[in-house]
Structure 1
Amino acid sequence: MFQDKCKKGRERKWIYFLIYLATLLLLSFCWYATRNHRWHSWIVLSCNPQASIDNVNQSSKLDLLKEVSLQRMLYKKPDTMKPPRSDVLMMTPWFAPIVWHGTYNFDMLNAQFHQKNVRIGITVFAIKKYTAFIKTFIETAEMFFMLGHTVNYYVFTDRVGDIPNITLGEGRQLVILKVPSYNRWQEVSMRRMEMIRDQSRQRFVNEVDYLVCVDVDMVFSDDVGVEILSDSFGTLHPSYFRASRAQFTYERRQQSTAYIPTDEGDFYYAGGYFGGTVEEVYKLSNFCHNAMMTDKGNNIEAIWHDESYLNKYFLYHKPTKILSPEYLWDNNFGVPEVLKRRRFVAVPKNHNAVRN
């Protein structure tokens, strides 16, 4: 019996040894596989020049890229130690340029955009009595706005018959978009975002590359060109470009979707001048309209209507370019030293008489 017990003990030892050995092999395999995956997870592709020649007839999106190359131009050399202007901020913390006179070479920019054959749309709302401003607006735009480029004037109006017949330059056309009339001017102001959004989706995206959305009760008084174009741009409000954050008239009620806390905010942007690519303007206008509708459902109306929602959007979706007050000015503010040009100026008027 003792011998039987010894025999069984030896058998158990062999079984334990085999189990240990199998476990060790399994752990070694798992370690090697993990190590191999971690350090050797690339894909090996064969780059055969002959195969590239054989596939030369296959098309690619890159084959359609157009080269944009400037011709010989003479201009003052930029100096890294001497900024063109030291009296104003020319760059935001997120590397978006702020456009002031003297900070760019227009001829250089214009040559680049000409080669890209960009198409620009400019939207205005001539609702009710505001149709009185459309003639002067377009006439001055023909003198100063995007000269030499393809331009579509998109006029939203409830009074199609009041829009005058204006002779336009080559490559420029007037598109009249009939829209409903609203009783309150505040409603007209806020509904702009909805209309821009809808037309961006249905029409603008097929007709133009960039949109410039401005007020109609203005006149162009100096050149406005491709220097303003970017993925998205806003304009410093002429009343607040020198003001502190505490003075900005953001929406401060927390119940509103336009709410901005007192310790947040970069600049105060004007609701009367913004734009960008059609895709980016669609995103902006869609955000603003949806936020307005949410507030309306809660019986809230932001303090400065669509401008309040625009400022909320630009706070968390930083514009890629910012226009100085040169591009939106009111002569009632005088002419500060930093303002070298007044490119787009408000028409003197009685606001109450026009809005009522």
Structure 2
Amino acid sequence: MSKMKNIAILYICTGKYDIFWEDFYKTSEKYFLNNSEKHYFVFTDAQSIYDENCDRVHKIYQKTLGWPYNTLMRFNMFKGIEEKLKEFDYIFFLNANMLFVDYVGEEILPKEEGLLVAKHPAFYDKDVDEYPYDRNEKSLAYIPYGQGDIYVQGAFNGGKSRDFLQLINELDKNINIDLDNDVIALWHDESQLNRYIIGKEYKLLDPGYIYPEGWDLPFKAKIIGRDKSKWGGHQDLRGIKEPTFIEKLKGKITTIFSK
């Protein structure tokens, strides 16, 4: 019998995103790597979260950084518990709005590979030059046309502890270098992740593991990305104020005169 794996699950729910935590946690407990010991590291500014007294739920205070820094700076958050994460066999990150809907077992664990990534549901059948890679040469996430193999989504990734901690440290460094140069990658942490995996060994999951709620894809849904419009939408969840009519008008005027 194989040794029980120790699994660290990284989860960020600052601001209004804590509304997703209870359902995520309950479905993870039911469906995700049930032959392993799972520990949840929850980065949040919520006063309390569901089942926070469980000895496998580790609540870590994280203030809301605002958009896009709540997502861009995720690797910096994870670095804060790096020593603790070294104790685990595998580390996985999942977006706050992910929900397990079917059993996900050890078939996802990287064995020969070091990392785990999942194909983006919107680009699994597109050509490489159609991928939304960052084409800005000033960014460390830059990928020129003609390079790259796949496009992965930042919603679910992980790997063996040593390999994923290496990813965390490298991407935190690259993001901070970009910020020092007044650059933010096109799709933030996701752009950095896509650049990082070029030339790396990774286990690749199909889009069924990050299946957008309400989509019709030729994959079996294992983990769904919940439709945020049912929870106030991206703008509201991110704390971004909807621009007023005057602000929209100013934006249009600025665009016209900048052409």
Q: Name the TM-score class by shorter chain.
A: 0.7 to 0.9
Give the match for residue 163 of structure 1. 49
Match for 1:234 among 111, 117, 138? 117
Structure 1 residue aligned with 2:84? 203
Query: Structure 1, residues 108-152: CA drift from partner, whole Å, max 9, x if none?
Result: xxxxxx612211111110111000100010011111111132111
Residue in structure 1 matched with residue 105 of structure 2 by the alignment: 225
Residue 310 of structure 1 pairs with residue 216 of structure 2: no
Report deviation, 1:224.
1.0
Corresponding residue to 2:9 among 94, 113, 122: 122
CA distance in 1, matches of 2:162, 2:30: 28
Contact 2:52 2:58 in 1 (8 A): no
Counterpart position of 1:279: 162
Is residue 2:209 matched to residue 1:327?
yes
Pairing 1:4-43 to 2, within 5 Å after superposition: none
SS at match of 2:194: helix
1:245 aligns with 2:131: no
TM-score, normalised by the number of residues in structure 2: 0.85
What's the CA shift string for 1:293-331, capped at 9, x where partnerless? 111111111110000000010013x23311111111103
- Corresponding position of 1:288: 171
Unmatched runs of 5 consecutive residues or more in structure 2: 240-259
Task: Output the CA distance in 2 between the equivalents of 1:311 and 1:319.
Answer: 13
CA distance in structure 2 between the aligned counterparts of 1:288 and 1:153, rounded to whole angstroms: 22
Query: What's the counterpart of residue 145 of structure 1?
Result: 32
> Runs of 4 or more off by more than 4 Å in structure 1?
none
Which SS does the other structure have where 1:345 is aligned?
strand
> What secondary structure sits across from 2:8 in the alignment?
strand
1:275 Cα deviation after fit: 0.5
Tell me how far 1:215 sits from its aligned partner.
0.4
Match of 1:345 among 221, 224, 230: 224
Paired with 2:166 and 2:179, the residues of 1 have a C-alpha distance of 20
Answer whether contact 1:131 1:162 (CA < 8 A) is retained. no
Q: What is the RMSD computed on CA atoms of the aligned residues?
A: 1.6
Structure number with the bigger relative contact order (C-alpha 8 A, sep ≥ 6) is 2
TM-score by length of 1: 0.63
Residue of structure 1 in register with 2:242 after alignment: none
How many Å apart are 1:180 and its aligned residue? 2.7
Distance in 2 (alpha carbons) for counterparts of 1:243 and 1:332: 20
Larger radius of gyration: 1
From the two aligned structures, give the one with the greater helix fraction.
Answer: 1
Report the residue type matching 1:219 in the other structure. Answer: L
Measured in 2, the distance between the counterparts of 1:275 and 1:306 equals: 14
The SS at the match of 1:219 is: strand
How many percent of aligned residue pairs carry the same amino acid?
28
Higher strand proportion (structure 1 or 2):
2
One-letter amino acid of the structure 2 residue matched with residue 158 of structure 1: D
- Whole-angstrom CA distance in 2 between matches of 1:300 and 1:166: 37
| TM superposition shift of 1:235 | 0.8
Give distance in 1, aligned partners of 2:214 and 2:53: 31
Q: How does 1:157-196 map to 2 (within 5 A)?
A: 157-159=44-46, 161-165=47-51, 173-182=56-65, 184-196=66-78
CA distance in 1, matches of 2:84, 2:53: 23
